[in-house]
Amino acid sequence: MNRATVLRIGTLAWLVFVWVLLWGNVSVANIVGGLVVAILITVLLPLPRVPVGGRIHVWSIVKLLGVSLWYAAQSSVQVAWLSVRPGPPPVTGVLRCRLAIKSDLVLTLCVDVLNLIPGTLVLEVDQVKRSVYVHVLDLGTDKAVHQFHRTVRRLERLFIEAFERPAEWAPDTTGTDATRKEL
């Protein structure tokens, strides 16, 4: 079996699994119904191919997951404190961060991690300028602003180490990366 066939079978299996979870009952009818829906989705609504370049570095991904979990836990405690502490509500705002991430796929993963950190919400991604605009819950001090930028820089560095090491990464000339370079 080639890679494309394995990927299609995996996609179908995942969609059937999600279908069965949504119905909350494992039965032959749910599995067959999920398979029919999965086939219809993949045939009638195919997703575009996502250009992927470079290599995956397992140890770097483990570090990225650990740091992401730490930031999520730390931020959860901060958000909980902000919700129960006496005093005025926190100062919120939108900050722009330019990222050195080259791949659209890796940029999307980074945005997903930023959205998982409580107290932050990515409002816009400027694909051409490689900037993200993030709403941050607590920006009452310069220290809080600098801490947010340090967090984003560390995540960016970890994503590049895990997926886009400069010596191994080359842009895909058929996908969106080539289009972006022309702009």
3-state secondary structure (DSSP) of residue 140: coil
- Rounded CA-CA distance 42/15 in Å is 10
Question: What pLDDT score does 53 carry?
Answer: 64
Q: Is the dihedral of CA 11, 12, 15, 16 positive or negative?
A: negative
Question: What pLDDT score does 177 carry?
Answer: 47
Question: What pLDDT score does 182 carry?
Answer: 39
Do 62 and 119 meet the contact criterion of CB atoms below 8 Å apart?
no
Question: Average pLDDT per run of 10 along the chain, which is 183 residues long?
Answer: 82 94 93 95 84 77 94 91 90 94 89 91 94 93 93 94 76 50 39
Question: What pLDDT score does 57 carry?
Answer: 84
Do 147 and 101 meet the contact criterion of CB atoms below 8 Å apart?
no
pTM of structure: 0.70
